[in-house]
């Protein structure tokens, strides 16, 4: 999906969301949650704090549903909201001094809005490419790779979940990864 197509889709979803569509909100969340998380990691490595801040940003979006159609650049709006929410969280942490907040604010300034927006676009493009590549896999290969790489499960959990033995799962994943590498190589030559 090109940037312009993505912006148009975002605006369509915002309009639907402002009219009451929870499905549109869910799609917006899915489009932007991972890029926001990646952006937040540039400011802090506290994953729980990041997840909380992302939830609060989207909760704010949800609670101000009727105002969302006025936003011209939703990705920038989310990046700014995320940055401000993280800085507020740093200020409210009892062990965080004013000097540390200034340090975080400096780090946030380094991660300016435009850079954050570009990061979000890159993340979304990579996600779409991976999703397209995953379609070349068999359903079982896709399931194994998703469980192991995307959900971070260990081999014993993957084996149990898929009701397969260890060697079968390893072979399935190996063949799947080979197929992904081949497909990625073809994709590189096309672009």
Give the pLDDT band of residue 66 (cuts 50, 70, 90).
confident
The answer on 57 and 30 residing in a single domain is yes
We report the CATH number of the domain holding residue 150 as 1.10.10.10
The answer on 58 and 152 residing in a single domain is no
Domain boundary among 105, 125, 145: 125
Is residue 130 in a domain?
Answer: no
The answer on 101 and 9 residing in a single domain is yes
The predicted pLDDT at position 106 comes to: 52
Q: Provide the domain count of the chain.
A: 2
Q: What is the mean pLDDT of the segment spanning 155-167?
A: 92
The predicted pLDDT at position 96 comes to: 47
Answering whether pTM is above 0.85, one says: no
Domain boundary among 82, 105, 125: 125
Q: Note whether 142 and 176 are within 8 A (CB).
A: yes
pLDDT in tens, 67-120: 766 777 888 888 888 888 888 887 776 554 455 445 555 555 445 556 666 667
The answer on 115 and 81 residing in a single domain is yes
The answer on 35 and 113 residing in a single domain is yes
Per the structure, the complete domain to which residue 71 belongs is given by 1-125
- The CB density around residue 109, as the number of other CB atoms within 10 Å, is 9
């Amino acid at each position: 999906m090109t940037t312009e197509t993505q912006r148009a889709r975002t605006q369509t979803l915002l309009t639907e969301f402002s009219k009451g569509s929870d499905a549109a909100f869910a799609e917006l969340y899915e489009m932007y949650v991972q890029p926001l998380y990646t952006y937040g990691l540039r400011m802090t490595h506290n994953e729980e704090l990041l997840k909380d801040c992302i939830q609060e940003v989207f909760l704010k979006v949800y609670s101000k549903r009727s105002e969302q159609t006025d936003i011209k650049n939703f990705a920038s709006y989310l990046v700014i909201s995320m940055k401000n929410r993280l800085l507020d969280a740093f200020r409210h942490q009892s062990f965080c001094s004013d000097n540390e907040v200034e340090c975080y604010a400096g780090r946030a300034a380094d991660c300016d809005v435009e850079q954050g927006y570009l990061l979000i676009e890159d993340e979304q493009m990579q996600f779409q490419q991976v999703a397209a590549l995953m379609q070349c896999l068999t359903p079982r290969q896709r399931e194994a790779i998703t469980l192991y790489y995307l959900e971070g499960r260990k081999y014993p959990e993957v084996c149990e979940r898929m009701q397969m033995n260890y060697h079968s799962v390893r072979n399935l994943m190996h063949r799947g990864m080979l197929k992904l590498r081949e497909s990625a190589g073809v994709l590189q030559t096309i672009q």
